[in-house]
Chains A and B, each alone.
Chain A
Amino acid sequence: MRVNNVMLYTITRVVAFIILSFSIYLFFAGHHNPGGGFIGGLMTAAALLLLYLSFDLKTIKQIIPFNYTWMIAIGLLLSLGTGVTSMLLGYPFLTQFFDYFDLPFLGETELATAVLFDMGIYLTVVGITLLSILTIGEDR
């Protein structure tokens, strides 16, 4: 018997979008408010997982063809890269830099290399969470 989950599909489309945007908000809030790469990454993984749960694995794999193993590696390289860059500039490993820039629309904004480090954590967390869940899920 084939069940047509219209309710689930419709709600997932809206809710996944809300969760994704909230996770990105959390990721950028990390410097001054509670949030950051870890919780942001977990929440993004939760949004993607919701998609995997309501639609089937094959469909989502066609739409978002990420290689999660590579995502982990890229995240680690990004985090290490911020540390190595400060080493190449003659500072100790992992020295962070920040400065204020006048951006269009946003006005004066503080940009810090700590965000890049956090970005690496974000990618690693998303990659690891989905990789472990999908590895168990695909197992038959």
Chain B
Amino acid sequence: MNNLVIVPILLPFIIGVVLIFFSKHRTVQHVISAVAVTMLLAVSIYLAYVVYHEGIQTLELGNWPAPFGIVLVADLFAAMMVILCAIVGFVCLFFAFKTIHPDREKFYFYPFYFFLLTGVNGAFLTGDLFNLFVFFEVMLIASYILIVFGGTKYQLRESFKYVAINIFSSILFIVGIAYLYGVTGTLNMAHIAERVAEADQQGILNVIAIVLLLVFAIKGALFPLYFWLPRSYFGPPAAIAALFGGLLTKVGIYAIIRTFTLIFTHDPAFTHNIILALAGATMFFGVLGAVSQFDFKRILSYHIISQVGYMVMGLGIYTPLALAGAIYYIAHHIIVKAALFLFAGATQKVTGTTDLHKMGGLLKTHPWLGWLFLVAALSLAGIPPLSGFFSKFALILAGLEEGRWFIVFVSLVVGLLTLFSMMKIFMYAFWREQKHSEEQARTRVSGLLWPIAPLIVLTIGLGLGAEPIFRFSLEVAEQILDPTVYIRAVLGQ
């Protein structure tokens, strides 16, 4: 028992509730939320420290023993995701202070911001399938509100599609849970994993695995089900888009990795090969979308899709090295993607548009913006000293070891196309002749660059310190590849 496990969920929840009382006082809201998000970062780092040194931490809520009550589990993977969530939450909050219009702040922006963090942290830390559903809903309902925030015509139209597709997938999630409960008679993930290993019901378990894969694929934007993402992420302001681009799809990916390493390990020849095929298609079609677009934010949104493919590819290959690569990739991607969306917000602040045809010459007037963006863009494309390279390298190495030539080929091509589309942004927005007026050229963006700077430092740090970090992700991968560790920590035998 360790109450520390619930603090990353409880802290943003309580702060979100308290902020409701101060919805009309701008400064009070800023101070409270800034302090809270700093505390959240500190708590999640401390949680990871404890998990790293003392093994998996569990908390049985309400003092009920494990398979009967709700249990929260913090293993290395969950603790790492909680830290990443806190980092993105921290950075986007300070960016939001500078960019969100004061009128919007009055209408409960910060409470919903913290409720979103509650849902994300809860989804990472829960050890119970139904609880996972509830935290998904907490996260999604907060995201529905943040995505439509401000109520422009475009946002209203696209958020309707976003809400519709997510309600559909939530219903499917419930159906999947009901099937699984019908087969195993329990909802605790460790207990389900135990029962699945005992039950000799491969056919029906495969069906349930695919139903849940479908659900998480909608949330995480995998190949045939990603159509909602680029349009709905285009609408909201940059701080919110960065939070979504950094976190939301990765919750779906986390759920896929969790369920397909813990529960559905009975027939990897079937399930994991489907995942691998989906990963290839997701990467390829996502990056094709990015290449075809001519809009800063839309290109970034399509890149989310193609890179979700890399993470799932690591799961599909299903060796320790591949999973370590996928985990490294998640960490790298959350950081870089949040940074890139914030850059899109900063350039939009200068030029007033996200259309690449209408931009140009930003490098001359805003050199810092340009060069920092270049670092993030190269990191996303996977250029050696930066973090993107090592994660892709591990994935490709694992693919070659397993003899999966085709997926390795696809991922290399996708890497090339990613570089191409990032360079397209750089060339159109930052080179060429200046298209923005002299008045716009005097816009100061240093206030906006300060919140992004930590992310750039992190992506450089992740690249330069690749060896210790990769050893850590190998440890994470070995822990999640051996479900008995998790089961023993939860059920305690």
Chain A residues with CB under 8 Å of chain B are 69-70, 72-73, 76-77, 80, 83-84, 87, 91-96
A-B pairs with beta carbons under 8 Å apart, 5 shown: A69-B20, A77-B17, A92-B3, A92-B61, A96-B62
- Say whether B36 faces chain A, with CB atoms less than 8 Å apart: no
- Say whether B197 faces chain A, with CB atoms less than 8 Å apart: no
Q: How far in angstroms is the closest Cβ of chain B from A82?
A: 11
- Apart from A94-B61, A95-B62, A96-B62, what are 6 other A-B pairs with CB-CB below 8 Å? A77-B17, A84-B14, A87-B6, A93-B3, A93-B10, A93-B61
| Contacting pair B10 A80 (CB below 8 A) | yes
Interface string of B1-36 (1 = CB under 8 A from A): 101001000100110011011010000000000000
Say yes or no: A76-B17 contact (C-beta < 8 A), given A92-B1, A93-B3, A93-B10.
yes
| Contacting pair B62 A70 (CB below 8 A) | no
| Contacting pair B17 A93 (CB below 8 A) | no
- Say whether B128 faces chain A, with CB atoms less than 8 Å apart: no
Residue of B nearest to A72 (CB): B20
| Contacting pair B3 A87 (CB below 8 A) | yes
What are the nearest 4 A-B pairs in CB distance?
A73-B20, A94-B62, A95-B63, A76-B17
A72 to B23, CA, bound (A): 14
| Contacting pair A91 B63 (CB below 8 A) | yes
Q: How far in angstroms is the closest Cβ of chain B from A38?
A: 15
| Contacting pair B17 A80 (CB below 8 A) | yes
Residues of B within 8 A of A76 (CB): 17
Residue of B nearest to A90 (CB): B3
Residue of A nearest to B17 (CB): A76
Residues of A within 8 A of B63 (CB): 91-92, 95
- Say whether B339 faces chain A, with CB atoms less than 8 Å apart: no
- Say whether B59 faces chain A, with CB atoms less than 8 Å apart: yes
Q: In B37-93, which residues have CB < 8 Å from any A CB?
A: 59-63
Residues of B within 8 A of A87 (CB): 3, 6
Residues of A within 8 A of B20 (CB): 69-70, 72-73
Most buried by A among B10, B60, B62: B62
Residue of A nearest to B72 (CB): A93
A87 to B62, CA, bound (A): 10
Say yes or no: A93-B21 contact (C-beta < 8 A), given A80-B13, A80-B14.
no
A70 to B17, CA, bound (A): 9
A80 to B118, CA, bound (A): 13
Q: How far in angstroms is the closest Cβ of chain A from B492?
A: 14
| Contacting pair A73 B17 (CB below 8 A) | yes
A83 to B10, CA, bound (A): 10
Residues of B within 8 A of A72 (CB): 20
Residues of A within 8 A of B62 (CB): 92-96
Residue of B nearest to A79 (CB): B17
Contact of B59 among A69, A77, A92 (CB under 8 A): A92
Residues of B within 8 A of A94 (CB): 61-62
A87 to B17, CA, bound (A): 19
Residue of A nearest to B23 (CB): A69
Q: How far in angstroms is the closest Cβ of chain A from B388?
A: 39
Most buried by B among A76, A80, A93, A95: A93
A92 to B5, CA, bound (A): 10
Residues of A within 8 A of B17 (CB): 73, 76-77, 80
A87 to B23, CA, bound (A): 28
Q: How far in angstroms is the closest Cβ of chain B from A16?
A: 28
A80 to B61, CA, bound (A): 13
Q: How far in angstroms is the closest Cβ of chain B from A1?
A: 38
Q: How far in angstroms is the closest Cβ of chain B from A33?
A: 22
| Contacting pair A70 B10 (CB below 8 A) | no
| Contacting pair A93 B13 (CB below 8 A) | no
Q: How far in angstroms is the closest Cβ of chain B from A115?
A: 15
A73 to B60, CA, bound (A): 26
Residues of B within 8 A of A93 (CB): 3, 6, 10, 59, 61-62
| Contacting pair B60 A92 (CB below 8 A) | yes
Residues of A within 8 A of B59 (CB): 92-93
Contact of B10 among A73, A84, A96 (CB under 8 A): A84
Q: In B226-261, which residues have CB < 8 Å from any A CB?
A: none
